[in-house]
Amino acid sequence: MINKRQSQALRALIVIFVLIVLVSCGQKTPSDLSKESIIPKPVSVTTTGEYFTLRPGTDISVQGESEEVLKIGQYLADRLKPSTGFKLNVKATAKEPKRGVIYLTLSGSGQNSGDESYELIVTRKLVKLSATTPAGLFRGVQTIAQILPAGIELPAKQEGPWKIATGTINDYPNYSYRGAMLDVSRHFFGVDDVKRFTDFLAYYKMNVLHLHLSDDQGWRIEIKSWPNLTIHGGSTQVGGGKGGFYTQEQYTDIVQYAKDHYITVVPEIDMPGHTNAALASSAELNCDGKARELYTGTDVGFSTLCTGNEITYKFIDDVIRELASLTPGPYIHIGGDESHVTKTEDYIPFINRVQEIVVAHGKQVIGWDEIALASLKPNTIAQCWANEKNANAAVSQGAKILMSPARKAYLDMQYDRSTKLGLHWAGYIEVDVGYNWDPATFISGISKDNIVGIEAPLWTETITNIDEIEYMVFPRLPGYAEIGWTPAASRNWEEYMTRLGKHGERFKAMGIDYYQSKLVPWSEAK
Ligand code: TNX
């Protein structure tokens, strides 16, 4: 028999026990890794039904002394510090720690499927991320962020707890080129905006940032041998605002920032059309020797370099030489689109010669699909935006295709009739339309083997600031990232839409001003 005091104590114990159970249930302990909303969807996820907890004393351990891997460890720590408030010391270690840390190692990933593959093994004791390259580790770090609660993305300290469901993720990309383009010519965006745009790409494991650096309305990259390009040609933008440009130092800063996120910058100088800003800066680039007026409207197809003048090629050689020396990535984009006032018999030799120049400066050419009219060099890539015939002509010359079909992948297309920003010449692109297509079956005659990947361009005739960029980019960008990363057979809209809905909380936490499409079941709890 128990006495009265004992029975009171027992009752108190039961109450405490029930309270503990209630509280921990209220924290929604994650226990199924395969139910986490990871975008892009990983190749394989298995769950073991427990969880790892990030605590104030959790360290980030990095195998070996590699500066580069230590830097990735530090990047992860910096990502997790503000919201957890934890120290997250980054330490090099000779052998695999037993417990209580996030461990990054280059000892190879489970399936070893290329440069960006990684394997993430979460047990109650350890989070172990392995890859064969630093890029793979960096992609895996994004997965770690996405399987932590959405509050991890908030800029200030939160309560926690910070639990991660246990299991194994094996992951690698379907396409090697996964990018987005930002048009900084129609409206100019400063270095900080470009960095934020780069963060968005990194979060969804994209690896290319294409900068559209010149167009009729503005020249945005300093070229020391032709200073008037930016002094005059960069002085305005659509609507007549003050424009701007990147000094070579600022451009280098952007390139380095992208590199630190395992993202390659592809700089574009659009020619022979879309060149009014250059034609306004230098009289000698015009066939009639007269400088054009600066242009702040939104028409296309009215300008052309003088393809028969030698000075034009001296100019291009100077520009490409300077740009190539600032650009560590393998590509220079030469535009080539919508040259409506360049005669075809002038356009073809022009593109041929410009390819020579780019190759002479050690780079590989990318151009919009019209360049397929010319003789493409080995390794030239045609970016398919409009014309399927051009894409097929490129493939029949042995070129690879970058897929950016305007009616599916243009971030400047409006979501629907009520969208205030953007254009709709290629149609409306609701979130499902943007997601529901397969690059490998989109154009008849072109299959996966012919395709390097996918890119989503944001043209900015109507886009004037970072909030507007965010509104057009989100929530479509994660979908393009998934098309590039996840095999088509593992993708379907119904399932994707729920995962995307969960990212609403993350967009909010990151301060992203996004379009709340009615098609998506947004969850913005907390
Ligand atoms: C077509 S796409 C263009 C751009 C415009 C865009 C607007 C391409 C290669 N050329 O010059 O900005 O449409 O959506």
Specify the DSSP element, H or E, that contains 402: strand 400-403
Residue 187 and residue 160 in one domain: no
Burial of residue 19 (CB within 10 Å: 0-12, 13-18, 19+) is exposed
Tell me: the pLDDT tens digits for 355-406?
Answer: 999 999 999 999 999 999 999 999 999 999 999 999 999 999 999 999 999 9
Q: Over 60: is that where the pLDDT of 252 sits?
A: yes
Residue 47 and residue 103 in one domain: yes
Residue 55: which domain range? 33-171
Tell me: the pLDDT tens digits for 403-446?
Answer: 999 999 999 999 999 999 999 999 999 999 999 999 999 999 99
Looking at residue 26, its pLDDT comes to 44
By the 8 A CB rule, do 456 and 469 touch? Answer: no
Tell me: the pLDDT tens digits for 221-238?
Answer: 999 999 999 999 999 999
Ligand 1 centroid from CA 491, angstroms:
29
3-state DSSP helix/strand/coil % of the chain, to nearest 5: 40, 20, 40
Q: Which of 338, 461, 482, 505 is catalytic?
A: 338
Which ligand 1 atom lies nearest to the CA of residue 274?
11
Looking at residue 65, its pLDDT comes to 81
Q: What is the CATH number of the domain that holds 48?
A: 3.30.379.10
**Structure confidence at residue 22 as a pLDDT band (50, 70, 90):** very low
| % of the chain residues with pLDDT over 90 | 91
Residue 198 and residue 127 in one domain: no
Q: Which two tokens stand for residue 172?
A: 């690698």
**Mean pLDDT, residues 264-280:** 98
Specify the DSSP element, H or E, that contains 431: helix 431-435
Ligand 1 centroid from CA 274, angstroms:
10
Residue 248 and residue 109 in one domain: no
3-state secondary structure of 310: helix
Residue 192 and residue 161 in one domain: no
What residue's CA is closest to ligand 1, atom 9? 337
Residue 137 and residue 196 in one domain: no
Residue 307 lies in a domain: yes
Residue 327 and residue 387 in one domain: yes
Ligand 1 centroid from CA 359, angstroms:
26
Residue 28 lies in a domain: no
Looking at residue 107, its pLDDT comes to 85
Residue 239 lies in a domain: yes
Ligand 1 centroid from CA 42, angstroms:
33
Least trusted range by pLDDT, from 3-7, 210-214, 290-294, 501-505: 3-7
Q: What is the CATH number of the domain that holds 459?
A: 3.20.20.80
Residue 164 and residue 188 in one domain: no
Please state, rounded to an integer, the average pLDDT across all residues of the chain.
Answer: 94
What residue's CA is closest to ligand 1, atom 5? 459
Residue 193 and residue 157 in one domain: no
Q: Over 90: is that where the pLDDT of 269 sits?
A: yes
Question: In the annotation, is 338 catalytic?
Answer: yes
Tell me: the pLDDT tens digits for 43-71?
Answer: 999 999 999 999 999 999 999 889 999 99
What residue's CA is closest to ligand 1, atom 10? 337
User: CB of 182 closer than 6 A to ligand 1?
Assistant: no
Residue 188 and residue 331 in one domain: yes
Residue 155 and residue 196 in one domain: no
Domain count, the chain: 2
By the 8 A CB rule, do 126 and 51 touch? Answer: no
DSSP 462: S
User: CB of 262 closer than 6 A to ligand 1?
Assistant: no
Tell me: the pLDDT tens digits for 469-498?
Answer: 999 999 999 999 999 999 999 999 999 999
What residue's CA is closest to ligand 1, atom 6? 459
What residue's CA is closest to ligand 1, atom 2? 385
Residue 516 lies in a domain: no
Which ligand 1 atom lies nearest to the CA of residue 385?
2
User: CB of 369 closer than 6 A to ligand 1?
Assistant: no
